[in-house]
């Protein structure tokens, strides 16, 4: 993976791991925390989405376990303000229906997870810390993070936040992401559970920085 935009260098920045289902507020909160603390942020969901995009783009069957893992190994994913795969800007394409539909299957592939987890850990080392958000960050990617947070929100609120995708698609992804064999979404040991339903971002950031 090539360079992310924010916060390179230094070794004394905090490492914050954030997990939660779709629409729980991970992206908004991690972006705000990264800004507040002056550290980088990595959206690992966008990395799984990038692999799903490449799989579809190359006409690979998303259920072909070996071929999909091979795609993950071969592609270069660049995570910055724009997300690119082998130089192609996929920032918008990875949020569209074809990727929404295929991504949970791609993310359940152990070979894909192995490749991406390694790249995510490399990103943290390269940036000397940062805010990393996803589904298995507290449990698998960064179990020794300075702070581990599991975000939740009411089902109605999560559906409202992801209204562009549609409630049934979001519910389907959450079901698949929580029931898969490899690294299912779950509250990790030592993670603080935070309900974001009726909380403002500023209020949450102020509270969370006191936990560091």
Q: Which residues bind ligand DC (CB under 6 A)?
A: 22, 44-45, 48-49, 103-104, 107, 134-137, 173, 177
Residue pair 22/189 in contact by the 8 Å Cβ criterion: no
Q: How far is the CB of 46 from ligand DC (least distance, A)?
A: 6
Q: How far is the CB of 176 from ligand DC (least distance, A)?
A: 7
Residue 38 or 46: which CB sits closer to ligand DC? Answer: 46
Residue 13 or 49: which CB sits closer to ligand DC? Answer: 49
Helix (H) or strand (E) holding 178: helix 167-179
Residue 127 or 173: which CB sits closer to ligand DC? Answer: 173
Q: How far is the CB of 124 from ligand DC (least distance, A)?
A: 13
Scanning 108-150, the segments in alpha helix (DSSP H) are: 110-127
Cβ neighbour number for residue 58 with a 10 Å cutoff: 13
Task: Determine if residue 68 is left, alpha or beta; phi over 0 gives left, psi from -120 to 50 gives alpha, anything else beta.
Answer: alpha
Q: Which residues pair with 78 in a beta bridge?
A: 2, 84
Residue pair 123/111 in contact by the 8 Å Cβ criterion: no
Q: How far is the CB of 206 from ligand DC (least distance, A)?
A: 24
Residue 11 or 112: which CB sits closer to ligand DC? Answer: 112
């Amino acid at each position: 993976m090539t360079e992310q935009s924010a916060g390179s260098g230094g070794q004394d920045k905090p490492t914050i791991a954030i997990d939660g289902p779709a629409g729980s507020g991970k992206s908004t909160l991690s972006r705000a925390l990264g800004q507040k603390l002056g550290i980088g942020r990595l959206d690992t969901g966008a990395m799984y989405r990038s692999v799903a995009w490449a799989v579809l783009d190359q006409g690979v069957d998303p259920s072909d376990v070996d071929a999909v893992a091979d795609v993950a190994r071969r592609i270069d994913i660049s995570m910055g303000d724009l997300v690119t795969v082998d130089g192609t800007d996929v920032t918008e394409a990875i949020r569209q229906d074809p990727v929404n539909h295929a991504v949970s299957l791609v993310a359940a592939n152990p070979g894909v997870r192995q490749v991406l987890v390694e790249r995510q850990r490399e990103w943290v080392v390269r940036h000397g810390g940062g805010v990393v958000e996803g589904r298995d960050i507290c449990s698998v990617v960064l179990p020794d993070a300075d702070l581990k947070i599991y975000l939740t929100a009411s089902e109605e609120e999560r559906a409202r936040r992801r209204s562009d995708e549609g409630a049934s698609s979001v519910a389907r992804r959450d079901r698949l992401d929580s029931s898969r064999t490899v690294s299912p979404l779950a509250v990790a040991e030592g993670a603080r559970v935070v309900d974001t339903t009726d909380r403002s971002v500023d209020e949450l950031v102020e509270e969370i920085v006191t936990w560091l």
